[in-house]
Amino acid sequence: MGESPVRNAERLCLAHFWVAFGAFLFACVLGAWQMWVRSPLGAKIGTPGDYFMSVTAHGVSMAYVLTTFFIMGFGYFVAVTALNRPLPGWIWAWGAFWMGILGVVLALISIGSGHASVLFTFYPPLTANVWFYIGLVLVVAASWVWCALMLVAMHAWKVDNPGRPVPLAMFATVANAVMWLWTTVGVAAELLFQVIPASLGLVQTIDVGMSRTLFSWTLHAIVYFWLIPAYIAFYTLAPRAAGGRLYSDTMGRLTFILFLIYSLPVGMHHLLMDPEHGNGTKFIQVLLTAFVAAPTLLTIFTITASMEIAGRLRGGRGVFGWIATLPWKRPMVLAIGLAFVMLGFGGFGGIINMAYGMNAMVHNTSWVTAHFHLIFGGSVVIMYFAIAYEIWPRLTGRDHASLAPLRLQLWLWFTGMMVMTLPWHWLGLQGQWRRVSNFNYADPIIAAWGPWVVVSFVGGIILLTSAILFVWNLVTLHRSEVSAIAKPLYALAVHPPRRVPAALNGFGLWNVLVLVLMLLAYGFPIAQFVIEPSPAAIVHRVR
């Protein structure tokens, strides 16, 4: 692997990925155990204490560790390969990595000690011991260092290449970093000014209305922070993997800009059923949420068109002939197909969730659990797998001996996810509620759910086997003898951009628009608690 400028980035990326996938496997085991305990098969096993400790660890590992470390690792990889220059400040990157590791260790130890069973959403007045929150703050701080490095890398590249468009993969990574900086303000404010002082005992009460609103500020854009790497794979890795071209580079830039703008002022669709906000402020954010579907709809058209190009270049005829001729044998192409199917089901769940009054039908039911398992657990995580399979040869210099186990793992993940989540939609509509350690199967309404919970549990087992197979595929790759031949990674657009308006090459304009949108959408909801704080609720410490 020669003395190329990216020498050090390999270890950096691999370190991040292995932490991410380690936490992922651990959380999959917990997920499967939880599915067993709440099913009629395991109804009398474990105590609520064990269950909610596991749910907290499952949530923190999947939502904060797998995601943050994968996104940072993939960001470093993109910054080095797309910009084709060494990473600026890689010492900072390692510093951030170890700070993140310290945070993860602190959080998981405090969860394991049983003094932090407040779930990964940690809504006060229930308050965990302070090390849980300090762990989360350290992980977020590590991601802030990553954001700074991404911005510095892009800026340095733009100085050296005046007037030339930033490569789409890097543009999207920086858009993600900017969005993450914007959105972590909410959870950072809640943690630093409300929850940590309460956990330390400096204050005995907490303004619950304010803390839920501040957390909702983060709660939506964080899911797009997780989702954007999958979309980077859609736009920049998949077209080349399928042997085609990206249909439109401009649409790609526009999609990531729309994500930046519309994922921030919409967090209150998580609070539609909360009493502490008026219908008007909720409607504004519901209307903006409808527009957050736009970038996803643009993407499914642009990427399907890109796949169509690849399919037709390989001889596909007729309206749908190109589908059959696509190289489904390649993991990235198979992952795109499966990810889009899950995105369709998950997106449908999302439209129902966001529909103002109709949210009452599904809020905090298994329908919501199915929605985010399908979109994040399904289409995003399956793209994390595909990205890992695609770039592992570059990081290790070794290539997969055979693609069959990779495809099998992707199919298992897809099947497991569909088998687990489709019953949840059905049960959610009937009122099955969330985060239950044991159901009273004697109740006739709940007894009817029993068989479906077992079906979901079977899906959970399939997912667990797929997760184990995934880690196994990566481990065997490290030792495979097949040496990797360097083949280009990033897709070309049908019309590679020559000159791109400044608006599509930077984020100055969009930051201004985001500021105005945040003031209009979140201004009054937060100000109302500053003007007249909600009556103080006593802190209930879980320790």
Partner 1 sequence: MSDTPHEVHESRILRTELLWAFGVGIFVAASLSMIVFTALTLNVNPPSNVERIDPKTLHLSGEFAEQNLGTTVFGDGTVIVRAIATQFMFVPQCFAVPANRRVTLRFASPDVIHGLLITGTNVNTMVVPGFVAQVHTEFTRTGDLLMPCHEFCGQGHSEMWATVQVLPVDLFKPGPDGRVSCAKR
Partner 2 sequence: MQSDESSAADSKVEVADEVDETALASVMRTVPLGAAVLAGATVALLVLGYLLIYTLVFIPRGTVG
Partner 3 sequence: MTEQRPQQSDPHVLDQPWRIWSTIAVMGIVLVGILLGVIVIPVVQGRSAGIDAFTAICRALGILPGSPAVPQFTDRTPPTPVSQVVWTPDVLQILARADVAKGKAKVQEVCIACHGENGVSVATEYPHLAGQSGAAIYKQLHDYRTGSRVNPQMTDIAKALDEAVTADVAAYYAGQPQRNLNPVTLAVSPPAIVQLVELGDPRRNIPPCASCHRAGAGGPIEAPVLAEQRDEYLIQQLKLYASGQRRNDVYGRMRLIASRLTDEEIKGLAAYYRAGFR
Catalytic residue among 164, 434, 541, 543: 434
Q: Respond yes or no: is residue 220 known to be catalytic.
A: yes
CB nearer to partner 3: pick between 90 and 524:
524
Q: Respond yes or no: is residue 384 known to be catalytic.
A: no
Say how far apart CA 403 and CA 530 lie, in whole Å: 57
Contact pattern for partner 3 over residues 357 through 396, marking x by CB under 8 A: ----------------------------------------
Contact pattern for partner 2 over residues 20 through 59, marking x by CB under 8 A: ----------------------------------------
Give the pair of three-digit tokens for residue 169: 């993969």
Residue from 115, 220, 363, 407 in contact with partner 1 (CB under 8 A): 363
**Span from 136-144, 178-186, 297-305, 403-411 in contact with partner 2 (CB under 8 A):** 297-305
**Span from 209-217, 310-318, 328-336, 468-476 in contact with partner 2 (CB under 8 A):** 310-318
**Span from 192-200, 371-379, 415-423, 533-541 in contact with partner 3 (CB under 8 A):** 533-541
Radius of gyration of the chain (CA): 23
According to the binding rule CB under 8 A, does residue 440 interact with partner 2?
no
Binding footprint of partner 1, residue count (CB under 8 A): 75
Of 90, 88, 96, 92, whose CA–CA distance to 142 is shortest? 96
For residue 488, whether the previous peptide bond is cis, meaning omega lies within 30 degrees of 0, is no
Residues 6+ apart with CB under 8 A from 221: 179, 180, 182, 183, 263, 264, 267
Q: What is the identity of the amino acid at 101?
A: I
- The interface with partner 2 within residues 202-241 (CB under 8 A) comprises 236, 240
Catalytic residue among 371, 400, 407, 425: 371
Of 460, 461, 470, 459, whose CA–CA distance to 407 is shortest? 470
According to the binding rule CB under 8 A, does residue 160 interact with partner 3?
no
516 phi, psi to nearest 5 deg: -65, -45
Nearest-approach distance from CB 308 to partner 2, in angstroms: 5
Say how far apart CA 97 and CA 20 lie, in whole Å: 11
CA angle 448, 45, 39 (to 5 degrees): 25
Residue from 203, 324, 447, 515 in contact with partner 3 (CB under 8 A): 203
According to the binding rule CB under 8 A, does residue 202 interact with partner 3?
no
The entry of partner 1, partner 2, partner 3, none that residue 518 binds, CB within 5 to 8 Å by partner kind: none
The entry of partner 2, partner 3, partner 1, none that residue 274 binds, CB within 5 to 8 Å by partner kind: partner 1
Catalytic residue among 115, 220, 245, 394: 220
DSSP for 355-378, please give it: SGGGHHHHTTBHHHHHHHIIIIII
Q: Are strands 537-538 and 205-206 parallel, antiparallel or unpaired?
A: antiparallel
Residue from 167, 428, 459, 506 in contact with partner 2 (CB under 8 A): 167
Residues in the chain: 543
According to the binding rule CB under 8 A, does residue 304 interact with partner 3?
no
According to the binding rule CB under 8 A, does residue 513 interact with partner 3?
yes
399 phi, psi to nearest 5 deg: -115, 160
According to the binding rule CB under 8 A, does residue 110 interact with partner 1?
no
Q: What is the identity of the amino acid at 311?
A: G
Say how far apart CA 410 and CA 432 lie, in whole Å: 29
Catalytic residue among 330, 373, 400, 425: 373
CB nearer to partner 1: pick between 48 and 315:
48
The position carrying tokens 């770039």 is 391
CA angle 475, 476, 481 (to 5 degrees): 130
CA dihedral 397, 398, 400, 401 (to 10 degrees): 150
* 264 class by beta-carbon count within 10 Å (0-12 exposed, 13-18 middle, 19+ buried): buried
According to the binding rule CB under 8 A, does residue 390 interact with partner 2?
no
Q: How far apart are the first and last CA of the chain?
A: 51
**Span from 218-226, 240-248, 437-445, 448-456 in contact with partner 3 (CB under 8 A):** 437-445
Phi-psi region of 435 (alpha: psi -120 to 50; beta: other; left: phi over 0): left
Of 343, 267, 254, whose CA–CA distance to 304 is shortest? 343
Q: Respond yes or no: is residue 224 known to be catalytic.
A: yes
Nearest-approach distance from CB 314 to partner 1, in angstroms: 20
DSSP for 457-491, please give it: HHHHHHHHHHHHHHHHHHHHHHH--PBPP----SP
- The interface with partner 3 within residues 89-108 (CB under 8 A) comprises none
Residue from 158, 434, 541, 543 in contact with partner 1 (CB under 8 A): 434
- The interface with partner 1 within residues 233-292 (CB under 8 A) comprises 247-248, 250-251, 271-279, 282-283, 286-287, 290-291
The entry of partner 2, partner 1, partner 3, none that residue 434 binds, CB within 5 to 8 Å by partner kind: partner 1
- The interface with partner 3 within residues 38-97 (CB under 8 A) comprises 44, 47-49
481 phi, psi to nearest 5 deg: -85, -20
498 C-beta neighbours (distance < 10 Å), count: 8
- The interface with partner 2 within residues 481-520 (CB under 8 A) comprises 484, 486, 488-492, 494, 496-498
**Any idea which residues carry the catalytic annotation?**
220, 224, 371-373, 434-435
Residues that bind partner 3 (CB under 8 A): 44, 47-49, 114-115, 117-118, 126-127, 163, 201, 203-205, 261, 265, 276-284, 286-288, 291, 438-440, 442-443, 499-505, 509-510, 513, 516-517, 520-521, 524-525, 528, 536, 538, 540-543
